[in-house]
Amino acid sequence: MVLSNTTIPSTSDAALIATLNNAAFQIIRYGSIFIFIFGTIGNTLNILVLSQSSFYSSSCAQLFLFASAMNLFAIISGLTSRMLAGWGADLTATNRFFCKLRGFTVNTARPVAIWYILFAMIDRWLLSSVKTERRQMSSVKNARRAMVISLIFATLYFSHVIYCQEPYQINSPQKCYGATLVCRYVTDLSFT
């Protein structure tokens, strides 16, 4: 009876897996710092420029302003714990309150920021329309209405994360993750 090499892991396979795990860990450790620094600087500059009074009457500028604010909020709330996890000091992995808060804020802020950019694209399309009725729909009032409605929708849509997220998770991508398999599927599918 001959055993194939596919059933018995070799030491070279184990070394390759260890090397890949270490590379992924280093990318998470240092890549998150890079994204945090440049994301924070970029979004802060966007907020400073777009919050000037000359942009108050532009619905598109208002949408981009709040998209940058939501992106900055997502970066600060999401990447801070990810960076600390690379150094073994992640509070969301051990503290239930911070785990739930991070899960909810990140799952809410990232889609809302994307939706605001989508609304800005729709606003530009409306403004460039040859039909007068469509051009009139492009207004700061409608942009703000869309932002408030989408924020309320996202808050309700991702409210299950407050229930589902728990620290100390084993066999999951993060220590702070869905407590049950159903929670994990619902959270991942709703974010998608």
User: What would the pLDDT profile of 151-171 be if each residue is shown by its tens digit?
Assistant: 999 999 999 888 888 877 777
The Cα–Cα gap between 139 and 118 comes to 15
Per the domain annotation, does 156 fall within a domain?
yes
Per the domain annotation, does 74 fall within a domain?
yes
CA dihedral (11, 13, 19, 21) in degrees, to 10, reads -120
Q: Name residue 192's amino acid.
A: T
Residue-range definition of the domain harbouring residue 129: 15-191
Per the structure, the count of domains in the chain is: 1
* Whole-structure pTM value: 0.79
Task: Give the tens place of pLDDT for each residue, 26-80.
Answer: 887 788 888 899 999 999 999 999 999 999 899 999 999 999 999 999 999 888 8
Q: What is the pLDDT of residue 2?
A: 52
Contact 147, 66 (CB under 8 A): yes
Tokens of 124: 């530009």
- Which of helix, strand or coil describes residue 6? coil
* CATH number where 70 lies: 1.20.1070.10
Per the domain annotation, does 7 fall within a domain?
no
Burial class (CB in 10 A: 0-12, 13-18, 19+), 147: buried
Per the domain annotation, does 10 fall within a domain?
no
∠ CA 106-164-25, nearest 5°, is 55
The H-assigned helical ranges of the chain are: 11-50, 59-86, 96-127, 132-137, 140-157, 160-164, 181-191
Q: What is the pLDDT of residue 22?
A: 85
Q: What is the pLDDT of the chain when averaged over all its residues? A: 86
Per the domain annotation, does 49 fall within a domain?
yes
Between these two residues, 25 and 116, which has the higher pLDDT value?
116
Note the Cα 39 to chain centre separation in Å: 12
Per the domain annotation, does 4 fall within a domain?
no
Per the domain annotation, does 3 fall within a domain?
no
Q: What percent of the chain stands above pLDDT 70?
A: 94
- Which of helix, strand or coil describes residue 159? coil
Has residue 6 got a pLDDT over 60? Answer: no
Phi, psi (deg, nearest 5) at residue 52: -70, 150
Contact 153, 91 (CB under 8 A): no
Per the domain annotation, does 6 fall within a domain?
no
Q: How many other CB atoms sit within 10 Å of the CB of residue 58?
A: 18
